Amino acid sequence: MRATAAEVLGIEVSLLQSGMGGVAGPELACAVSNAGAAGCAGGYKLVGDQLSAMLARLTSGTDRPVGVNLIPEVVGPDELDQQVAQVLDETPPQVHLSLFGLPGDAVFDRIAAAGRQLVVQVGTVDEGVRAAERGAVVVVQGIEAGGHLLGESSRDELVAELREKVPAACLVAAGGIGSPEEAGRALAAGADGVLLGTVFVATRESRAHAYFKEAITAADAVDTVITDVYEIGWPGRRHRVLATAVTSDPQQPAKFIGKTVVEGKPYLVPRFSSAVPTDATSGRIEEMAMYCGLSCAAVSGEPTAAEVVAEFARVLPPTGAEIEE
Ligand SMILES: Cc1cc2nc3c(=O)[nH]c(=O)nc-3n(C[C@H](O)[C@H](O)[C@H](O)COP(=O)(O)O)c2cc1C
């Protein structure tokens, strides 16, 4: 018998919310965790005072298990070390770390030594096996996913292959899950829980710009494209976004098209920036990076995070359930 994702993370429903940089602030993460699932705040490039301010809001908003997401390849090893140190120093033990892509061995060791749960998102079988061998909850990302893509396989194919290779691992399926029925398919393929990104972008507590939320609600799977054009700030990794005038004509000049504020600091947004449009962004929102998975087809309205958790809870394994190996 295997534990459910809920059991491993100390939550009630085997549902994880993706820690999306810019979009998933402490407000969304706490709302998800307070509803019984695992919320996660996007750490992205925050470090020092900016990261401390975010962590303070996160830890004052919930006493339940909640995560902080970091992206090793975006910040590099030194800054990642600093971010990890801050999370470990400034948050209580029920706060877990969530990483997009495998970190180096030293990071695995440090998080394990601190007694914190680690969640690692992967896109290939080999990476999944490595993360599982280091005791992480493995988020298995399929090509259906919104945002940056770690592999090339479809979600359930990858889940099934990994389940065979690491039968005892805690596997969480991600990519293209917009409805409880789709979550059910991922569980049938061998997942112990699911992670949702796009569905949570459209929630009331998300910090996504209103135009971005409405575009997701209106979109169908065919309105998304895999591209590499939004590369300023995060080069060299393909991403699934809503098709825009920039994805269809990437030859345009890389001039500034807007401005934004991140944790109190103002920034200009160039065309091709990897930054998502948030409620603090102004300018040509329709040209910015609106990461979006095939899951958008099932998204409607602007539900609260708690409504999303309740909707998916009916198909997801709770704490106390055991999964037949
Ligand atoms: C707007 C947006 C931003 C994202 N940002 C991050 C991020 O900062 N860190 C991360 O680990 N994953 C990020 N992701 C990817 C998700 O973790 C996940 O792979 C994806 O959302 C799953 O597919 P779905 O969007 O169809 O649910 C992002 C996804 C979206 C849609």
Residue 295 alpha carbon, nearest atom of ligand 1:
26
Mutation choice for ligand 1 from 16, 17, 18, CB with most ligand atoms inside 8 A: 18
62 and 171 part of one domain = yes
6 and 149 part of one domain = yes
| Domain of residue 292, residue span | 210-296
Residue 174 alpha carbon, nearest atom of ligand 1:
22
Question: Which residues have C-beta atoms less than 6 Å from ligand 1?
Answer: 18-21, 23, 42, 44, 69, 71, 100, 121, 141, 144-147, 174-177, 196-198, 201, 276, 291-293, 295
91 and 181 part of one domain = yes
189 and 219 part of one domain = no
147 and 9 part of one domain = yes
Q: How far is the CA of 19 from the centre of ligand 1 (A)?
A: 7
Query: Could you read off the pLDDT of 127-175 as tens digits, one per residue?
Result: 999 999 999 999 999 999 999 999 999 999 999 999 999 999 999 999 9
258 and 143 part of one domain = no
Question: Would you list the DSSP string of 174-232?
Answer: ESS--SHHHHHHHHHTT-SEEEESHHHHTSTT--B-HHHHHHHHH--GGGEEEES---B
150 and 277 part of one domain = no
65 and 157 part of one domain = yes
Instruction: Confirm if 318 and 189 have CB atoms less than 8 A apart.
Output: no
Residue 2: band (very low, low, confident or very high) from pLDDT cuts 50, 70, 90: confident
Taking CA 114 as the corner, what is the angle to CA 111 and CA 116, rounded to the nearest 5 degrees?
65
Sign of the alpha-carbon dihedral angle for 279, 280, 286, 290: negative
138 and 149 part of one domain = yes
> How far apart are the C-alpha atoms of 306 and 146, rounded to whole Å?
21
- Interval 261-277 mean pLDDT: 96
pLDDT at 325 over 70: no
Q: What CATH number is given to the structural domain containing 154?
A: 3.20.20.70
190 and 214 part of one domain = no
Instruction: Confirm if 137 and 9 have CB atoms less than 8 A apart.
Output: yes
131 and 259 part of one domain = no
Instruction: Confirm if 63 and 84 have CB atoms less than 8 A apart.
Output: no
Domain count, the chain: 2
162 and 180 part of one domain = yes
